[in-house]
Amino acid sequence: MREVLIEPNEKQKAFFESTAKYTAYGGARGGGKSWAMRMKLILLALNYDGIQILLLRRTLAELRENHLLPMMALLKGTAKYSAGEKEFRFRNGSRIRLGYCDSENDVLQFQGQAYEVIGLEEATHFTEFQFLALSESNRASGNMKTRFAPRMYFTCNPGGVGHEWVKRRFIDREFRGNENPDDYLFIKSLVFDNKFIMENNPEYLDTLMNLPEVRRKAMLYGDWDAFEGAFFPEFDPRRHIIDGEVDIPDSAIRFRALDYGLDMTACLWCAVDANGRVIVYRELYESNLLLSEAADKIIAATEKGERIRYTVASPDLWNRRQESGKSGFDIMTARGLKQMIKADNSRIAGWRIVREYLKAGSSYGGEPKILISRKCVNLLRCIPLLRFDERIREDAASTPHEITHAPEALRYALMSRQPKTPPKQNKRFTGNIYAFDNIKRDTPTGDFAEFLSY
């Protein structure tokens, strides 16, 4: 029998001892995450006869370098490796299978299978869909003689496509539906906790210290609110968030901005003060609403006597459905959502405008041009999570899609406040309302002159 001596640090010991349903470990570079995950799963395989374990990384190359090669060396003579199945088989019937999920649907290969333990290495590289799909396979396999409560283990750093779902559950501890807070444990580990690196490779600390500020905060100190790829580094909660009740003057122009989809309805209530500063003071953020239901919810959330000048909405609402001949605009206005106007959907130009509003301007006394009520929890949650598109640097990534809705509504809102030059041709004056022959029939004219005047 081979004897292997291990000396985990205090944080790794806590990870080894955790029996929580979901345990996440790490949060920064150099905390000894891969070693901890690898040893945790090996200890489980050695101590529980017949246990079935699945260890995943996002790509095959990462899997090979971080786990396959070290485990082959460590388990030689203890477990037999099957290259065809990519798994280590132990004499006691236990098994550690290695896998990877390079594309979104790769997780589907594990459907119908059962593993008492699943480990996700660099969990923030996995989408929430992949995590949820894998959690369905985290159940009793029937191969164990003793009772064992299924668990999942995660290692992670801030950033990546899965940043939001990991942060919500383990860092912010904001739980939804049937999620049980007692099931989730996060063990934060930094390079300072890794005795081996601090003694044998102290220069690595200098490497982390020399990183750009945003990445240094994330990778050295485990700051989940600062990570590489943040689309709006200009956003600063200390400057852009209003605590308590929002005092909006009677003279302020009030309007709504709507990004509708069946997966999510995001509506923002905004006001513009005398200085042109935009205040976002209310939000509706709800999924699985039909067009008529979304209109009803928006109307119900608008306070009695609150004068809303217009609702700027995503242009696709004006597309008519072939089966009914009606558009989203038709359905929502029929429910009483009046004065809807098409949003300017210029993405890059729109994001530039949002960026300018977030920046301080000399004409605004050094203050930002936009303020957001803390009650707008989803807008405030999603803005810091937006990342750059990998192909179009000036655009925001469209994934994870769940976090894009509120920022899209904000983009529509701010673009609607940009000066527009009214067409000069075919203009006729009708009372106190300007109407233009080239304006489509579904564009409201009742307050159109009023829109142009602000």
Tens-digit pLDDT profile for residues 175-208? 988 999 999 999 999 989 888 888 888 898 889 8
Tens-digit pLDDT profile for residues 78-123? 999 999 999 999 999 999 999 988 777 788 889 889 999 999 999 9
C-alpha torsion sign, points 38, 44, 47, 50: negative
pLDDT at residue number 375: 94
Please state whether the peptide bond connecting residue 400 to the residue before it is cis, i.e. omega within 30 degrees of 0.
yes
Question: Which positions ≥6 away from 323 have C-beta within 8 Å?
Answer: none
Which residue bears the tokens 């290495």?
A: 121
123 closest CA partner among 75, 182, 168: 168
Q: How many angstroms separate the CA atoms of 364 and 297, rounded?
A: 35
pLDDT tops 50 at residue 382: yes
Q: For a pLDDT cut of 70, what percent of the chain falls above it?
A: 88
133 pLDDT tier (thresholds 50, 70, 90): very high
Q: How many angstroms separate the CA atoms of 442 and 444, rounded?
A: 6
CATH class held by domain 10-221 = alpha beta
What the block records as the tokens of 181 is 């807070």
4 pLDDT tier (thresholds 50, 70, 90): low
Q: Across residues 286-310, what is the average pLDDT?
A: 95
User: Is 38 buried (19+), middle (13-18) or exposed (0-12) by CB count in 10 A?
Assistant: buried
pLDDT tops 70 at residue 312: yes
Mean confidence (pLDDT) of the chain? 86
| Fold classified for 237-418 | Nucleotidyltransferase; domain 5 (3.30.420)
Query: What is the greatest pairwise CA distance in the chain?
Result: 96
pLDDT at residue number 166: 93
pLDDT at residue number 127: 84
Q: How many angstroms separate the CA atoms of 193 and 176, rounded?
A: 32
Task: Report yes or no on whether pTM surpasses 0.85.
Answer: no
DSSP assignment of 270-281 equals: EEE-TTS-EEEE
pLDDT tops 50 at residue 427: no
Q: What is residue 182's DSSP assignment?
A: G
Any idea where the domains of the chain sit in the sequence? 10-221, 237-418, 421-454
Tens-digit pLDDT profile for residues 219-249? 888 888 766 567 888 888 888 999 988 889 8
